[in-house]
Amino acid sequence: MADGEQARRKRTQPAWAPPAGSQDTPLKLYNSLTRKKEVFVPQKGRRVGWYSCGPTVYDTSHMGHARSYISFDILRRVMKDYFNYDVLYAMNITDIDDKIIKRARQNYLLEQYMDKKPSRKQLLDDTQTAMKPYREKLDRETDPDKKAMLQRITNKVEETVAKLEQIAENSPDASKEDELKKALVGDARDPLSEWLDSMHGSEVTDNSIFTKLPQHFEAEFHKDMEALNVLPADVLTRVSEYIPEVIEYVQTIIDKGYGYESNKSVYFDTTKFDGADSHFYAKLVPEAFGDSKAMLEGEGDLSISQDRLSEKRSTTDFALWKASKPGEPSWDSPWGMGRPGWHIECSVMASSILGGSLDIHTGGYDLKFPHHDNEIAQAEAYYDNDHWVRYFLHSGHLTIEGCKMSKSLKNFITIQEALSKYSSRQLRLGFLLHSWKDTLDYSSDTMGTAVKYEKMINEFFLTVKDVLRTDAPPFLKWDKAELQLAESFQQRKEGVHQALCDNIDTRATMDQMRELVSDSNVYLKEKRDARQQPDHALLRDIAAYLTRMLKIFGAIEGEELIGFPVGGTSQAANLEETVMPYLSTMAEFRDKVRQVARQEKAKEILQLCDGLRDDVLPQLGVRLEDHEGLPPVVKLVDKETLLKEREEKIKIEEEKRRQKEEKQRKQQELQAAKEAKRRIPPSEMFLKDTDKYSSFDDTGFPTHDKEGKELSKGQQKKLRKLYEAQEKLYSEFLKSQQDGLINGAEGK
């Protein structure tokens, strides 16, 4: 054995070591309980128990609802389909609540009132009576936004009243009168309803009145969520179905010393709870403890009368069970006929599904206090623990064009109104481009950005599809361009992962995806300019990855590997596979015809080819793109999108034509003005300026100003230059006239 080999055998083999680098980034979520990002750790392995505060179904769903439910739908999808958690998602429907009772009762009373067909005089008199307390409310109001809203309603009612009175006095017209009466009832709906309710609300005894309204608006809510592509809950709970559980829950809280009965109602003793060593009241917003205004709003409009307030031991206590007054639905209980308090409903329903400790609880930012803080207190009193919710996630506010969105301020946009202007995907992209926990402004700028993002990424998908339809070798040698794009792909994927781990930051994620599209487009342009074939497999992987991410976010439905569905989710793939061979053949034929037409200068044939591209194919949902020196590109696009593009193109071309005509007109006017000026003899050029000069010499040159004062030498010098310049222009004009006469004579 050689000496070198013996020496090598005596050496110790170096120990294996893992490569330098960080472990997989853990998911962090912004926890409202700690007001910072915390590493997410479920209590039962990969299983996640998640409860989301659902809607109080007393009216049409609006974009404030969409803000929460789209945001949480995105979080839920990412948790399930990206991080692979096993999520059980429960959501409630609040179908017993002060808002529902009041709205149902008022709607019923107003319908009854209108069924009696009040005369013009009766309606006018009743409206004036109803407006009296409304005006008093307006005078007392100190909140500027609420005051402005009340003033708008008052102004509108007064305007319609004046119209109805005028038509009655001057020219009675039955049809016009009926129209104005309906308008007045619509404008004065709030004050009339309040007035009727104050007089007859206690007389409403039919419980079905209080179930029809929430059933109607719950159905509407589910339709709206389906239209927004929000996944349905795994478990849906309704308060009306959990009355026995609510009663048992309240009794347990009483038994543990944290609840007390008062005048057939039951209240939660916040002072007793907060004083216990194992408990703390108002975990989410401790600084709001004692905020009487917020507490009253949390109790509901029908629960803030003086007699109800006097039943409490402390102003910070809140109702667990409310004794029903006349005109309210009721259920039997150990404390008498009554109904659940608002806050207890969620504690009971969430606990019934997910038990004594939830992994995640979500809701709107405005529910933090008192609603969610009261939920926590009730549940921790019931279970005698201090960890009913592990992670509390709150979606940010929604503003409308920079202003606070509020149902009570009548400053809101319904989901259906939003969907009439933008697609569900565009709305979702608008939310994805912002952080789920921050304030989002619903505006033309916000949605314009979302529409541009959709177009940008859709154009990339369509381009990749077109590339993949061309023949290519199974494997291409990667050069510098492919290596750079592949490296960008890996970096962007890592960027997406880091962003999603960081509180599911979809805004940063969408930025990474935009950069990946940009890098891919640069690569495609380089290949196109060099007349080289791009690598199909690499582009397919990138486009498929982007499609997968958008599917995870709920922005794409369907099973297609690449891109947005065309012609509806059910037929998209088949449509493309079926029609594309024919479209490609047509595009190639048209391209050859255009080449021959250009060589032969056959303008009419070129116009027909352009008409096929610009007018005929868009009606069929086909975009045909011509690229000089390259084969045409065929893309299947939604017909509506293409027609909008066509309208926009026509508008742009029309504006260019208008600007061109305006420019030509101004040039003609300028030329005419110059020509007119040339025709003026210098001896006449100042004579019309009598507002400046009063005397002139024999040549028409001014000598004195309008007040008779002789012009200074400096003034005369300036005017002389103008005079001499006009002499030159006039001389040129005379010469052109003389030349014209001579040329005319020679022509004869």
Query: Are 201 and 236 in a shared domain?
Result: no
The reported pTM is: 0.79
pLDDT digits (tens, 9 = 90+) for 138-165: 999 988 888 888 999 999 999 999 988 8
CATH number at residue 241: 3.40.50.620
Per the structure block, which two tokens stand in for 57?
């179904």
Cα dihedral 126, 131, 133, 139 in deg (nearest 10): -170
Where residue 207 falls (left for φ over 0; alpha for ψ -120 to 50; beta otherwise) is alpha
- Is residue 623 over pLDDT 90? no
pLDDT at 570 (0 to 100): 45
Give CA–CA dist 103/338, Å, rounded: 19
Residue type, 669: E
Please report whether residue 4 resides in a domain.
no
pLDDT digits (tens, 9 = 90+) for 274-285: 999 999 999 999
Query: Are 326 and 227 in a shared domain?
Result: yes
Query: Are 242 and 252 in a shared domain?
Result: yes
Q: Which residue among 158, 186, 213 closes a domain?
A: 213
Cα–Cα nearest to 228, from 562, 553, 644, 568: 553
Listed in order, strand segments (DSSP E) in 620-720 are: 622-627, 630-636, 693-696, 702-705
Which of 8-12, 88-92, 561-565 has the weakest average pLDDT?
Answer: 8-12
- Indicate if the alpha-carbon torsion angle 39, 43, 45, 46 is positive or negative: negative
Give every CB contact of residue 566 below 8 A, 6+ residues apart in sequence: 572, 575, 576, 621, 636, 637, 638
Query: Are 259 and 199 in a shared domain?
Result: no
Please report whether residue 225 resides in a domain.
yes
- Domains of the chain: total: 4
pLDDT digits (tens, 9 = 90+) for 233-275: 999 999 999 999 999 999 999 999 999 999 999 999 999 999 9
pLDDT digits (tens, 9 = 90+) for 497-513: 999 999 999 999 999 99
Give CA–CA dist 52/236, Å, rounded: 10
Give CA–CA dist 295/288, Å, rounded: 9
Are 51 and 91 within 8 A, CB to CB?
Answer: yes
- Is residue 475 over pLDDT 80? yes
Are 79 and 500 within 8 A, CB to CB?
Answer: no
CATH number at residue 455: 1.10.730.10
End-to-end CA distance of the chain: 122
- Is residue 550 over pLDDT 90? yes
pLDDT at 298 (0 to 100): 86
Q: Return the half-sphere exposure (C-beta side, CA atoms, 13 A cut-off) of residue 107.
A: 14
pLDDT at 409 (0 to 100): 67
- On average, the pLDDT of the chain sits at 89
Q: What is the mean pLDDT of residues 203-223?
A: 94
- Is residue 605 over pLDDT 90? no
Distance of alpha carbon 435 from the chain centroid: 13
Query: Are 383 and 459 in a shared domain?
Result: no
pLDDT at 10 (0 to 100): 64
Angle between helical axes of 506-529 and 444-468 (0-180°, round to 10): 40
Listed in order, strand segments (DSSP E) in 154-255 are: 235-238
Most confident range, picked from 465-469, 479-483, 632-636:
479-483
Give CA–CA dist 167/173, Å, rounded: 7
Q: Which residue among 166, 183, 213 closes a domain?
A: 213
633 pLDDT tier (thresholds 50, 70, 90): confident
Residue type, 207: N
Please report whether residue 582 resides in a domain.
no
Give CA–CA dist 95/475, Å, rounded: 61
Phi, psi values for residue 688, rounded to 5°: -80, -10
Residue scoring higher pLDDT (473 or 516) = 516
Give every CB contact of residue 219 below 8 A, 6+ residues apart in sequence: none
- Is residue 593 over pLDDT 80? no
Angle between helical axes of 603-611 and 572-600 (0-180°, round to 10): 170
Cα–Cα nearest to 485, from 448, 454, 524, 453: 524
Residue scoring higher pLDDT (604 or 550) = 550
- Is residue 13 over pLDDT 80? no
Residue type, 175: S
Please report whether residue 17 resides in a domain.
no
- Is residue 582 over pLDDT 60? no
Q: What is the mean pLDDT of residues 632-655?
A: 82
Give every CB contact of residue 191 below 8 A, 6+ residues apart in sequence: 127, 130, 131, 133, 134, 153, 157
- Residue the block writes with tokens 């003899």: 681
Are 473 and 534 within 8 A, CB to CB?
Answer: no
The kind and range of the H/E element at 164 are helix 144-170
Nearest-5° Cα angle at 161, 159 to 166: 95
- Is residue 334 over pLDDT 90? yes
Query: Are 258 and 169 in a shared domain?
Result: no
pLDDT digits (tens, 9 = 90+) for 49-77: 999 999 999 999 999 999 999 999 999 99
Query: Are 80 and 167 in a shared domain?
Result: no
Please report whether residue 472 resides in a domain.
yes
pLDDT at 572 (0 to 100): 47
pLDDT at 307 (0 to 100): 66
Angle between helical axes of 506-529 and 536-552 (0-180°, round to 10): 160
Q: Which residue among 147, 179, 213 closes a domain?
A: 213
Please report whether residue 625 resides in a domain.
no
Cα–Cα nearest to 135, from 107, 113, 155: 155
578 pLDDT tier (thresholds 50, 70, 90): low
Query: Are 92 and 121 in a shared domain?
Result: no
Q: What is the mean pLDDT of residues 170-178?
A: 74
- Indicate if the alpha-carbon torsion angle 117, 118, 123, 129 is positive or negative: negative
363 pLDDT tier (thresholds 50, 70, 90): very high
Query: Are 235 and 324 in a shared domain?
Result: yes
Beta bridge partners of 702: 696
Query: Are 255 and 311 in a shared domain?
Result: yes
- Is residue 291 over pLDDT 90? no
Please report whether residue 598 resides in a domain.
no
Please report whether residue 551 resides in a domain.
yes
- Is residue 452 over pLDDT 70? yes
Q: What is the mean pLDDT of residues 703-713?
A: 90
Containing structural domain, residue 90: 45-97+221-396
Q: Across the chain, how many H-helices and E-strands are there? A: 25, 18
pLDDT at 470 (0 to 100): 83
Nearest-5° Cα angle at 195, 194 to 198: 85
> What share of the chain has pLDDT > 90, as a percent?
62
Residue scoring higher pLDDT (219 or 739) = 219
The kind and range of the H/E element at 577 are helix 572-600
Q: Could you check whether the bond before residue 618 is cis, i.e. omega within 30 degrees of 0? A: no
Query: Are 227 and 364 in a shared domain?
Result: yes
- Is residue 5 over pLDDT 70? no
Q: What is the mean pLDDT of residues 473-485?
A: 92
- Is residue 573 over pLDDT 90? no
> What share of the chain has pLDDT > 70, as a percent?
91
Are 403 and 411 within 8 A, CB to CB?
Answer: yes
pLDDT at 292 (0 to 100): 83
pLDDT digits (tens, 9 = 90+) for 372-423: 999 999 999 999 999 999 999 999 999 998 887 776 667 789 999 999 999 9
- Is residue 426 over pLDDT 90? yes
Where residue 399 falls (left for φ over 0; alpha for ψ -120 to 50; beta otherwise) is beta
Query: Are 375 and 232 in a shared domain?
Result: yes
pLDDT at 313 (0 to 100): 93
